[in-house]
């Protein structure tokens, strides 16, 4: 087949839109990848003939199921759960579980798609998946969360396994939820095996896993800055979110001599010009994981700060920005504001936090921009190392895992620069990540023939 017989990008995207009606997040994620891949494969006929891009954008399977549970007032509640198996060409399916009222099939499909490229970039043998439910953990008691997690796992356990699919945490799923789900899996199957990552240290968890995503996003930021002969020391940083990724990103920025000035949640953000140092970060971690409170409470405790209800932090003047909350939380206008205010680098702890239009602004301004699939890959990378430790029935120490994380992030940065160099010294990290992530998966798929 001649190259001219293959559909062009616009026709390809038209097909994606037609096959996935209303799935805006999924279409957005595909659009961002397809642009770069089309350029890369323009002279590589084998990828066209094997329809690799078409196949990668069609999940291997999606399981959707009912999750019934009883609340503390004995009302029966019904949620919808999913697991999206996007691609297992290079390893068992791997990716987090999200519990949030905004979870839809489209959101999980976009996350599983992104995860496929991210996991490939780590260099570890992991395929791409994502799961979750439209369950809102906010305001729920521990027993309610436990009953929900048990009910969720009572269906999910059929679709996962240490060599099949290994879920982990994401928004709304942290140590507590992983504990409840692991306990239920073990109870149903009578098997102790590394079926989930993000476990506590007492039952097979890995050192550095809680820190890995946030620390990794800061290492990626440091790698980007170093590539330009700069560093983090003395720079201000605006961070969104106040969960696992945001608090650990804040911690690492602080350790490297930067000054974090904002954190947020879905209700608003706090601005602390004095800096959110380690003591304050510890207070926020306790607020979020033990008290399960709101970030607005920060200003009652720390008088130097102001709270901005219903607002996002991107208007605050800063050198560095780290979106660490959720998808599409940074739009075109906010990107312009950051650039206008002199922001030099953006590193994404969250998945697809910047809209396509926002990304364009960063690229046009030629500021450093590390997309989530590269910058936040440290979390899943250490999950991969947790899997290795579980298989070997061994535990590695913190120092070794810390070094491995630093090296993994450096390796991802190198891959991005290899494929993302635009020729004039500027690195398009989106392009670099997309191509490097795609190539490994695509070559594996070619080897399998038509499956």
Residues that bind ligand 2IT (CB under 6 A): 94-96, 115, 118, 168, 170, 197, 351, 379-380, 383
Q: Which residue is nearest to ligand NDP (CB)?
A: 243
- Give all strands of the β-sheet with 306-309 in edge-to-edge order: 306-309, 268-271, 259-265, 236-239, 320-322, 345-347, 368-370
C-beta of 13 vs 436, nearer to ligand 2IT: 436
Of 113, 108, 93, 121, give the one whose Cα is nearest residue 30: 113
Choose the contact partner of 104 out of ligand NDP, ligand 2IT, none; CB within 5 to 8 A by kind.
Answer: none
Strand partners, 354: 330
In angstroms, give the least distance from the CB of 402 to ligand 2IT: 17
Give the active site residue among 130, 199, 285, 415. Answer: 130
Distance of closest approach, residue 85 Cβ to ligand NDP, in angstroms: 18
Question: Could you tell me if 126 and 384 are in contact, meaning their C-beta atoms sit under 8 angstroms apart?
Answer: yes
- Provide the minimum distance between the beta carbon of 377 and ligand 2IT in the complex, in angstroms, as a whole number: 7
- Using a 10 angstrom Cβ sphere, with 0-12 exposed, 13-18 middle and 19 or more buried, the burial of residue 155 is middle
Q: For the CB of residue 292, give the shortest distance to ligand NDP in the complex, in Å.
A: 9
CA distance 331 to 50: 36
**How big is the chain, counted in residues?**
451
- Pick the closer one to ligand NDP by CB: 266 or 341: 266
State the binding partner of 94 from ligand NDP, ligand 2IT, none, CB within 5 to 8 A by kind.
Answer: ligand 2IT
Contacts of residue 51, defined as CB under 8 A and 6 or more positions apart, other chains included, come to: none
Residue 295, SS3 per DSSP? helix
User: Smallest gap, in angstroms, from Cβ of residue 138 to ligand NDP?
Assistant: 7
Based on CB atoms, which residue is closest to ligand NDP, 6 or 347?
A: 347
Q: What is the CA 143 to chain-centroid distance, rounded?
A: 28
- Which entry of ligand 2IT, ligand NDP, none binds 206, CB below 5 to 8 A by partner kind? none
**Catalytic: 44?**
no
Question: 40 or 157, CB closer to ligand 2IT?
Answer: 157
Which residue, 128 or 174, is less far from ligand NDP as judged by CB? Answer: 174
- Written as six digits, the tokens of 169 are 């945490």
Helices (H), 256-371: 278-286, 298-301, 332-340, 356-365
- Residue 241, binding choice from ligand NDP, ligand 2IT, none, Cβ under 5 to 8 Å by partner class: ligand NDP
Distance CA 247, CA 237 (A): 12
| Residue 102 near which of ligand 2IT, ligand NDP, none (CB within 5-8 Å, type-dependent) | ligand NDP
DSSP string, 253-274: HHHTT-EEEEEEETTEEEE-TT
197 binds, among ligand NDP, ligand 2IT, none (CB under 5 to 8 A by kind): ligand 2IT
Cα 419 to its chain centre, rounded Å, is: 21
Taking the least distance from each CB to ligand 2IT, the nearer of 126 and 361 is 126
At closest approach, how far in Å is the CB of 376 from ligand 2IT? 6
Residues with a known catalytic role: 130
């Amino acid at each position: 087949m001649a190259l001219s017989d293959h559909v062009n990008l616009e026709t390809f995207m038209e097909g994606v839109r037609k096959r996935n009606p209303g799935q805006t997040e999924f279409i957005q994620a595909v659009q961002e990848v397809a642009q770069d891949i089309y350029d890369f494969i323009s002279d590589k006929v084998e990828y066209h003939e094997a329809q690799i891009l078409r196949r990668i954008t069609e999940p291997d399977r999606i399981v959707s199921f009912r999750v019934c549970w009883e609340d503390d007032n004995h009302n029966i509640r019904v949620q919808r759960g999913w697991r999206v198996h996007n691609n297992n060409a290079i390893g068992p399916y791997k990716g987090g579980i999200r519990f949030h009222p905004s979870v839809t099939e489209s959101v999980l499909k976009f996350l599983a798609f992104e995860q496929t490229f991210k996991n490939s970039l780590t260099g570890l043998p992991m395929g791409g998946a994502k799961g979750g439910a439209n369950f809102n953990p906010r305001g729920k008691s521990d027993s309610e969360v436990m009953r929900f997690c048990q009910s969720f796992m009572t269906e999910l356990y059929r679709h996962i396994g240490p060599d099949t699919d290994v879920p982990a945490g994401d928004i709304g799923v942290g140590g507590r939820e992983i504990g409840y789900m692991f306990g239920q899996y073990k109870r149903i199957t009578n098997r102790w095996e590394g079926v989930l990552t993000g476990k506590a240290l007492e039952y097979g968890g890995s050192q550095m896993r809680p820190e890995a995503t946030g620390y990794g996003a800061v290492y990626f930021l440091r790698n980007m800055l170093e590539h330009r002969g700069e560093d983090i020391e003395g720079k201000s940083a605006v961070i969104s979110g106040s969960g696992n990724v945001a608090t650990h990103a804040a911690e690492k920025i602080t350790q490297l001599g930067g000054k974090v000035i904002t954190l947020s949640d879905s209700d608003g953000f706090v601005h602390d010009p004095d800096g959110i140092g380690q003591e304050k970060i510890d207070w926020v971690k306790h607020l979020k994981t033990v008290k399960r409170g709101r970030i607005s409470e920060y200003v009652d405790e720390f008088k130097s700060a102001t709270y901005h209800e219903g607002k996002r932090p991107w208007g605050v003047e800063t050198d560095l920005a780290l979106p660490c909350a959720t998808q599409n939380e940074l739009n075109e206008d906010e990107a312009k504001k950051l650039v206008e205010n002199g922001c030099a680098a953006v590193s994404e702890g969250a998945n697809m936090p910047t809209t396509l239009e926002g990304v364009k602004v960063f690229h046009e301004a030629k500021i450093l921009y590390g997309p989530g699939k590269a910058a936040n890959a440290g979390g899943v990378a250490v999950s991969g190392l947790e899997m290795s430790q579980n298989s070997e029935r061994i535990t590695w120490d913190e120092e070794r895992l810390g070094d491995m994380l630093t090296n993994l992030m450096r390796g991802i940065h190198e891959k991005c620069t290899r494929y993302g160099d635009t020729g004039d010294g500027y690195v398009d990290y989106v392009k670099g990540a997309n191509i490097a992530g795609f190539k490994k998966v695509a070559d594996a798929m070619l080897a399998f023939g038509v499956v």
